[in-house]
Structure 1
Amino acid sequence: KGVEIYVADCYDPIALLLCMHILYRYQVLANKRIVPVLNTYHTTLTQLLETRLELVMKLNIDSIQKVEPHKFSSIELTPHFIVRRYAEFSGAVTKLNEEFTNEKISTLMTRLQAEILNLILRMAGEFPQRKEQLIFIINNYDIMLSVLAAHTSEDSPECDSVKGLLRDRIDEYVNECLIPYFTPLIIFVKEFEQLTERNDGPKQLESKLSSIARIFQGDWKKTLDLIHNDVIRSFPSLKLSQPILKEVFTQFLSHYHDFQRLLTTNPILKTTQQSKDLQLPNVHQLMFEIKKYKLPFDGEQFKTRT
């Protein structure tokens, strides 16, 4: 009776889960010592705790669903405290649930994770710029992954689901990061074939080559500095910001390498006066400047993009 009274007022899912695991171990011990008379007692207590745990978990899920981000006084680009708390809670529950797996708890944790991921997107929607939204999403996915990986294995289902989402958002951020500075270059490489098929193709090519020339006639080294500083400021974790910065520069080098290849191999561009007059840095010059940021490069930047 005393346990029922305590459990009825308990809203701590970790405490309830710990009590369940203590009972599991007592049950194993009793069975080893051939004391079957305690089985009914252990089962009754476990069911009592499990029922309460399910209720508390559902209350947590409901509370996440009811969060209204637009009512927050402010939302920073850094990881949100709700997400951090969830990650620590999820890591603890997942660790406890490893030895004596409870499918009901696993299902509830999957639902809770889905609601947290949805909440991250809703909070990100409060930022007006897509780039800011991506920074917020990436920072929160990263803190989730870091905390979960510390409590579980990196190959756990919880980590795998977040990894895929994080990868997609980083890819999108890389493009968003380059667009303000190198839009003419990116568009030229992506739409070159379409431009050559148009009737006004030569004129369009001349115009776009002029735009690209202006980028590199200016202080392009300063542009690289701006990108570097922007990425470092956006992601407080160096374990996150350094790989992202490498991907940004790798993507830029890939676009630039494709552009240089078009200039030297395409017969139309070879005969264009504008392309002959272009004074552009070569790839090695760009890499020399980028390596000043102490980012390792291994040739991945020259792989064909899919």
Structure 2
Amino acid sequence: MEVIPAAAAAHDGQKQRFDLGVFVGDLPLDDDDAASDNESLEGLQQELEDCKNDQEVANILANGIKMRDYTKGVENSIRQVELDSIQDYITESENLVLLHDQISDCDNILSQMETVLTGFQTEIGSISSEIKVLQEKSMDMGLKLRNRKAAESKLSKFVEDIIVPPRMIDIIVDGEVNDEYMKTLEILSKKIKFIEADSMVKTSKALKDVQPEVERLRQKAVSKIFEFIIQKFYALRKPKTNIQILQQSVLKYKYTIVFLKEHAKEIYAEVRTAYIDTMNKVLSAHFRAYIQALEKLQLDIATSTDLLGVETRSTGYLFSIGKEPLKARSSVFALGERINVLKDIEQPALIPHISEAKSQKYPYEVLFRSLQKLLIDTATSEYLFSDDFFGEESLFQDIFAGPIQVVDEYFDAVLLNCYDAIGIMLMIRIIHQHQLIMFKRRIPCLDSYLDKVNMSLWPRFKMVFDLHLSSLRNANIKTLWEDDVHPHYVTRRYAEFTASLVHLNVEYGDGQLDLNLERLRMAIEDLLVKLAKMFPKPKMQTVFLINNYDLTIAILKEAGTEGGKTQLHFEEVLKSNIAIYVEEVLLEHFSDLIKFVKTRTSEDPASSSDKANIGDVEPLVKDFANRWKAAIELMHKDVITSFSNFLCGMEILKAALTQLLLYYTRLTECVKRVNCGSALNKDLVSISSILYEIKKYSRTF
């Protein structure tokens, strides 16, 4: 029994000592060498070149080892490695067999899984086909549903648009025209448009049943609307009807007009014509009545004889009972409170019966403003109503043709007999302000009318202005002249007239009006010079001119306007005439002294060529000493009585006394240069005494 293990051990030992070399044997290197001797050496040189740079070959050669021996050693090493690998494989053979069995088992399992998965894939494929079929059926059903819904929507809309509900019939036939009726009209209008617009509807059988009913409803609606609107229009003809309030109440029914425009154009034309005819007559009658009432309030200001250069007595007013003389009727030429009509430009129109009850009278420009204000307010209201209710701005011109004609006829008749230049200029400014008002309102309907009125006023103003100008140029000097140096009434007329026009031109800067005023100024100056020459004494002529120039300047200043060139011119001529008067009044009292000073002395003593003697100056000195105070008093009285303006007179007296002091000072200088002139010192009046007298009169000033 023990032999077996030993034999087994021996067997294992033999197994472990198993040498493959026994079976394989040594490599036949010699044969290879022999064979290699017979090989061709072709290409050897190339291989040697390739191995020249090989490091391993270089090391072998460096050690002196033969290439053949080295090669044999390498091959033996490779053989040994191969044998070791085979031995390792034999050692692991059982594990490899076990691994092979496991791989076979796995392969069987995977094969079964493949079979199962293939079955699943087949089933999934069949399910996918079923889902695709269901999806196609679903899409088909969805398409059918959408088509049916679209058909239902169109059909329901068609039915809704074409059907005529009983409630609609009741409202159109028996209902009152109110808000509900307006809404029903809109629905009916949509149905009519639907029937007329859609060609498919016209071919439908349903239309044959519905169309007659719709047409009867349309005719009934048109008939009822026509009667309703015409009744509203006729209500405008009733006396004392507030047109604007009634129009506002009608505006909520404006869809009735839209309905007639769209579905009954002939009836709309009748309604339109009826409204135009009604409003034309109503407004014409209203304006005609208003004008008749205004005529009772008119205050006549000027006639054809109320001109600047017309002599007062020639008008006949001095002997008339109901009118004042032109000389006292300053409102003909003065603006005064008449300017208030421009301040009240946006005030409501006058109510004639109230003014008549108060016995109030107004200049024509006030009535003109009131009439034009009523016209533009009425036109604005009518224009807006026509545009809103009828949707036609052109309707206004047809409506207002009558009222404008009534106003034009009255205006033309008044303007033809109007000689009030101030009133005409006020009317021109009123029209301008009304144009601005309409521009701010953005209502263009009266633009042409206002332009026409303005174009009518300017020529009339020019004509009346030229009458005033001609009256000055062609004035009868003999009838106008009065033996009075105080301001002439023609001057007052001119000054007030000019101040009025200048004031009315401040904000407008009309160059043509300025030129006309310049012509008028030249005419009044020529007239004043002619009137002044009627006085026998030059001093009286100068006093007359000074008084008139001073009055003109004062009135221009009192008017609260800058007189401009006119005022500056009169200030210059006034200054020159005052200088002339000063010389004249001094010559009247001190002629010898002034002549002596002017001929024998000068302001520069060194320039005097002639030497005076005591005999020349002594009479002058003694004469001045005896009566200088009396002469100054006479000059004072003369100034007080000659000049209407006390302040101006005192300024003139002050200028005369100052000039007298200058002359006397030059005389005293001359006395000092005369031989033995000191003997006259006792007769000389001291300068301080003269200054005292000047100051005394200055205090009066």
Tell whether the structures are fold-level matches, with TM greater than 0.5: yes
Matched, 1:146 2:557: no
Q: Contact 2:431/2:450 (CA < 8 Å) preserved in 1?
A: yes
Q: Is the 8 A contact 1:69 1:122 kept in 2?
A: yes
Render the CA deviation track for 1:225-260: whole Å, top value 9, x for unaligned.
Answer: 111111111112212111111101111111112222
Give the letter aligned to residue 187 of structure 1.
K
Alignment of 1:80-91 (within 5 A): 80-91=488-499
Which one of 108, 123, 133 corresponds to residue 541 of structure 2?
133
Residues 9-33 of structure 1: per-residue CA shift (max 9 Å, x gap): 1111011111100000011111222
For 2:483, the aligned partner's letter is I
Aligned to 2:511: 103
Q: TM-score under structure 1 normalisation?
A: 0.87
- Per-residue deviation, 1:70: 2.2
**How do residues 202-217 of structure 1 correspond to structure 2 at under 5 angstroms?**
202=612, 205-217=613-625
Q: What SS does the aligned partner of 1:36 have? A: coil
Of 237-246 and 36-45, deviating more is: 36-45
2:679 corresponding residue in structure 1: 276
Task: Tell me by how many angstroms 1:296 deviates.
Answer: 8.6
Q: Which residue of 2 aligns with 1:293?
A: 697
Residue 587 of structure 2 corresponds to 179
- Cα distance in 2, alignment partners of residues 34 and 88 from structure 1: 38
1:224 alignment partner AA: I
The SS at the match of 1:212 is helix
- Give the Cα separation in 1 of the matches to 2:585 and 2:677: 28
Cα distance, 1:88 vs structure 2:
1.1
- Segments of structure 2 that go 5 or more residues without pairing to the other structure are 1-407
User: Which residue in the other structure is 2:670 paired with?
Assistant: 262
Greater gyration radius: 2
Unaligned ranges ≥5, structure 1: 298-306
Alignment partners' CA distance in 2, 1:290 and 1:52: 55
Aligned-residue offset at 1:113: 1.5
1:27-55 Cα offsets, whole Å, 9 max, x none, are: 11112222234322222111110000001
Letter in 2 for 1:293: Y
The number of residue pairs the alignment matches comes to 288
Contact 2:668 2:684 in 1 (8 A): no
Looking at structure 2, the residues matched to 112 and 73 of structure 1 have their Cα atoms a distance apart, in angstroms, of 20
Residues 553 and 570 of structure 2 are in contact (CA less than 8 Å); yes or no, is this contact kept in structure 1? yes
SS at match of 2:487: coil
1:159 maps to 2:567: yes
What code does the residue aligned with 2:694 have?
A: I
- Residue identity matched to 2:680: D
User: Following the alignment from structure 2 to structure 1, what is the Cα–Cα distance between the partners of residues 601 and 509?
Assistant: 56
Following the alignment from structure 1 to structure 2, what is the Cα–Cα distance between the partners of residues 167 and 287? 23
How far 1:207 moved relative to its partner? 4.4
Pick aligned residue for 1:69 from 472, 477, 480: 477
Specify the code of the residue in structure 1 equivalent to 2:506. E
Q: Cα 1:166–1:291, aligned 2, differ >3 Å: closer, same or farther?
A: same
Runs of 4 or more consecutive aligned structure 1 residues displaced over 6 Å after TM superposition:
none
- Compute the displacement of 1:102 (Å): 2.2
- Identical counterparts, % of pairs: 28
- Find the counterpart in structure 2 of residue 301 from structure 1: none
CA–CA distance in 1 between the matches of 2:497 and 2:575?
A: 23
Q: Cα RMSD between the aligned structures?
A: 2.2
Q: Distance in 2 between matches of 1:157 and 1:196?
A: 42
Residues 481, 531 of structure 2: 8 Å contact kept: no
3-state SS, counterpart of residue 456 of structure 2:
helix
The normalised TM-score by structure 2 is 0.39
Cα deviation, residue 135, structure 1: 0.6
1:27·1:42 contact (CA, 8 Å) conserved in 2? yes
Offset of 1:184 from its aligned partner?
2.2
Q: Distance in 2 between matches of 1:155 and 1:102?
A: 14
The alignment status of 1:45 with 2:453, answered yes or no, reads yes
Q: What's the CA shift for 1:220?
A: 2.1
User: Residue 617 of structure 2 contacts residue 671 of structure 2 at CA under 8 Å; is this kept in 1?
Assistant: no
Shift of 1:193: 4.8
